[in-house]
Amino acid sequence: MPVFDPETRRAPEAPAKESAITDIPAASSALEIEGLTLSYGEATALKGLTLRIPRQRVTAFIGPSGCGKSTLLRALNRLHDLNETVHRQGTIVLEGEEIHAPGIEVAELRRRVGMVFQAPNPFPMSIYENVAFGLRLQGGLKRRQRDEVIEWALSSAALWDEVKDRLHDSAWSLSGGQQQRLVIARTLAVQPEVLLLDEPASALDPISTLKIEELIRNLKSRLTLVLVTHNMQQAARVSDYTAYLHGGELVEYAPTDQLFTNPRLAQTENYITGRMT
Amino acid sequence: MRLRRRTPGEGPWPWLAAGCVSVSLLMVLALLLLLGTRGLGHFWPADIERVTLHDGQVFAGVAVREEASAPGQATSEERLYYTANRALDGATWRWVALEDIARRDRPEQLSVIEHGRWGTLIGYIDETASNEQRLVIHTQRGQRTDLPRTGIIEHYRPNAMSWVDKILAWGRGVWHFLSQGPRSANTEGGVWPAIFGTILMVLLMSVVVTPFGVLAAIYLNEIADQGRATRLVRIAVRNLAGVPSIVYGVFGLGVFVYGLGGTLDTLFYSDRLPSPTFGTGGLLWASLTLALLTLPVVIVATEEGLARIPDAQREGALALGATRIEMLRRVVLPMAVPAMLTGVILAIARAAGEVAPLLLVGVAKLAPQVPVDDTFPFLHLERKFMHLGYHILDVGFYSGDVEAAMPLLYATALLLVLVIVVLNLTAIFLRHHVKSRHGALPR
């Protein structure tokens, strides 16, 4: 049995064509990240990342623990603002607007860039109130309109049929998978343009995971999705583009098919085939 | 393969621990039993004996207890009788040697008459001499007195009463104790003003301390930078909980009574000076002092509740476009309500039993006027008030008639325990209600 030798298996060095990062034209990208450097106190988590995230596609960030993929995700809706020790350089442009510009209202940014977390985090309220939460923050909806939006959001998250008879039960009475879809519905209700998913299925059983993945595929017709996952198969199954991060740097970013079948760099291949230590 | 027990057994520890719990439980039960029997037994309409002595003296009284005589005396045992009639005889109690008693019987006509001004009397009601206004009584010793009927609280003939009657009379006695004001320098009558004062003061204190403590906890846990200064403040707050309560009393006296109260008086009540309005102890200052005393408890409990809320909940709210204030108000605070109520429960439990600071800032030995009445502004915060804890102290230590005070002491102590239990149960019920509405925190 041949012993793996990184030298002989090395993929051809960057071919003549341009880097995959620039394959996505600015016009069709929802987010443009440029020179993003981010550090927690002394520790640098992201080192000058530059990439574009295509509109109405699923982009997956993969990489070993601590590679900075979650940090990158949380930078996209400025969730790091809460932590005073975080320092950032570089720009993130959402549909032509720099999100750190002085006039930007963070709350509105976060409405436009919704986020779903690793562990389901429904609020201790009824199912209905969970979905209504963001709507109530915006205000201005009549009860009837709100009911319609809630039904639409729950249907979009493939949860309506399961909860339509118990909308006023506690959200914590739902199963883990249902809770995660409820959280997605809650986020969809405020009509975000981008949906950030931070390992959304890692706490769920395989059936619930499949449902979430199906949901992700269905949602991309409406919005831009960014997915952080530890699960390589999941990234391969649902994403259109995949970025491999390591040590706070973007190692390789390409259409998912290409990255998984024919990675340019040995480092990427080692990771996706599980040979990386 | 060795799956056998490594050690020969768990040893005495489980038994020791269980023993400690049992001892604690027994002590609590013994305490309640003592307070209950001694305090509640007082209201039982015991039979009145007519005692004839060998030397021909006759008197009527209720047998209370027997004791061995002091050594060196001729007799061996003595019995204590409650003879009432302080207004006529000047004494309420009589020790009689058992050998001196010739005869005891229980004439059905003997009555107990409780009169607001004359105190408790034992004697025979002379129906023929009495009229609509006056009640004529002959005592066993031959005195005759007539009382205005208007002052009579109750009269009954215990020797003629059946068990049912006695139980009803006992219930009435307990009710009078709860609903009436004290008489005869707090040795007779009820404790209603003290119950009212205690509860009102605790409620006022809760109303003051809850928003203060909760806001302080929110600032410390949610808003302030978690730097050295915040840590110092937190340590200081925790240490504040250990300051002796009398120190708070001194602080209350200096700052609230003399400082704030004195200023209020010179500004708004200068026409009444030099007699103080707010410049003396009163309900408001007592409530504020106890609020200060319990503030650390509320802060610590609320902060612990806030710290238990997962950050995922906060981030979830922010990620939906909530501002920090909206996040606090709509997600964090509702989830922290049970913890806040826990803080209030602890505060109530501590404040309701505190007496020492009250001595300095407004408790009164006798304040038959409760601080709420029908004259504007209805709630009189400047008034002095009665308090069950202080009532116990007063009855127990400063009463002229120790024998009469003892049962009231026990009854008042029992009542204080019950009041605290009721206040706590109310808060616990509230907390449970809130919890079941929002569901429990995920573990």
The interface pTM score, or ipTM, of the predicted complex is: 0.83
A24 φψ region: left (φ > 0), alpha (ψ -120 to 50), beta (else): beta
pLDDT tens digits for range B57-75: 888 888 888 888 777 666 6
Residue B312 half-sphere exposure toward CB, CA atoms < 13 A:
16
3-state secondary structure of B7: coil
Yes or no, beta carbons of A121 and B320 under 8 Å apart: no
A202 touching B, CB under 8 A?
no
The number of helices, as runs of H, and strands, as runs of E, in chain B is: 14, 12
Is A7 a residue whose pLDDT tops 60? no
pLDDT tens digits for range B325-381: 899 988 888 888 888 888 988 898 888 888 888 888 887 777 666 777 776 677 777
Question: Nearest-CA neighbor of B117 among B193, B37, B183?
Answer: B183
pLDDT per residue rounded down to tens, chain B (443 residues): 567 666 666 778 889 999 999 999 999 999 999 988 888 888 888 888 888 888 888 888 888 888 887 776 666 788 888 888 877 877 788 888 888 888 888 888 888 888 877 778 888 888 787 787 888 888 888 888 888 888 788 888 888 888 898 899 899 888 988 888 777 666 677 788 888 888 889 999 999 999 999 999 999 988 888 888 999 999 999 898 888 989 999 998 988 888 888 788 778 777 776 777 777 778 888 999 999 999 999 999 999 999 988 888 999 999 888 888 899 988 888 888 888 888 988 898 888 888 888 888 887 777 666 777 776 677 777 777 888 888 888 888 877 777 777 888 888 889 888 888 888 888 788 888 876 665 544 43
Peptide bond between residue B107 and the one before it cis (omega within 30 degrees of 0): no
A52 touching B, CB under 8 A?
no
Domains assigned to chain B = 49-162 (no CATH), 192-438 (1.10.3720.10)
Long-range CB contact pairs, A251-257, < 8 A, 24+: A251/A63, A252/A20, A253/A19, A253/A20, A253/A21, A253/A51, A254/A20, A254/A23, A255/A20, A255/A23, A256/A60
Classify the C-alpha dihedral B409-B413-B416-B418 as positive or negative.
negative
Yes or no, beta carbons of B439 and A124 under 8 Å apart: yes
Q: Nearest CA of chain B to the CA of A108: how many Å?
A: 6
pLDDT tens digits for range B103-148: 888 888 888 888 877 778 888 888 787 787 888 888 888 888 888 8
- C-beta atoms surrounding B46 within 10 Å: 15
- Could you tell me if A203 and A163 are in contact, meaning their C-beta atoms sit under 8 angstroms apart? no
- Could you tell me if B123 and B48 are in contact, meaning their C-beta atoms sit under 8 angstroms apart? no
- Return d(Cα A258, Cα B251) in angstroms, integer: 76
Choose the closest CB to B318 out of A79, A125, A138. A79
Q: Taking the mean position of all CA atoms in its chain, how far away is CA B91?
A: 29
Q: Nearest CA of chain B to the CA of A11: how many Å?
A: 40
Yes or no, beta carbons of B319 and A172 under 8 Å apart: no
Interface contacts A/B by beta carbons within 8 Å: 71
- Return d(Cα B18, Cα B39) in angstroms, integer: 31
- Return d(Cα B26, Cα B160) in angstroms, integer: 39
Domains assigned to chain A = 30-272 (3.40.50.300)
B223 touching A, CB under 8 A?
no
Choose the closest CB to B442 out of A111, A134, A172. A172
